[in-house]
Amino acid sequence: MVTAEILLDTVQKVKDFSSSIIKMEAECELVQGLRILDAKSIMGIFSLDLSKPIQLRIDSDGSDVPEGLKRFLVKNE
């Protein structure tokens, strides 16, 4: 399982994320507080507080976030 913090703070980022994640075969979830939803559901994404980071969980054998999703990662400065 791969987990990462992402930020989808604009409508364009949500659209781009949705376009990227829908192509993945692995199960993907977004977690915010007590809410857990299918990361491939654009309506579900818009139901979250997009001003705050969201935890992305990808059920995958890999240990790193896929390259196409790295641009959404929260940068730790």
Amino acid 63: pLDDT: 74
- CATH assignment at residue 59: 3.30.1340.10
> By CB neighbour count within 10 A (0-12 exposed, 13-18 middle, 19+ buried), where does 59 fall?
exposed
Calculate the alpha carbon distances from 41 to 9, 15, 19 in Å. 16, 11, 11
Mean pLDDT along residues 51-58 = 96
Amino acid 66: pLDDT: 87
pLDDT reading at 68 higher than 50: yes
The residue ranges of DSSP E strands in the chain, in sequence order, are 2-6, 28-32, 35-38, 54-58
- What span, in angstroms and rounded, lies between the C-alpha atoms of 75 and 77? 6
20-54: pLDDT as tens digits: 999 998 999 999 999 999 999 999 999 999 999 99
Number of domains in the chain: 1
Assigned domain for 77 exists: no
pLDDT reading at 76 higher than 70: no
Domain interval for residue 31: 2-72
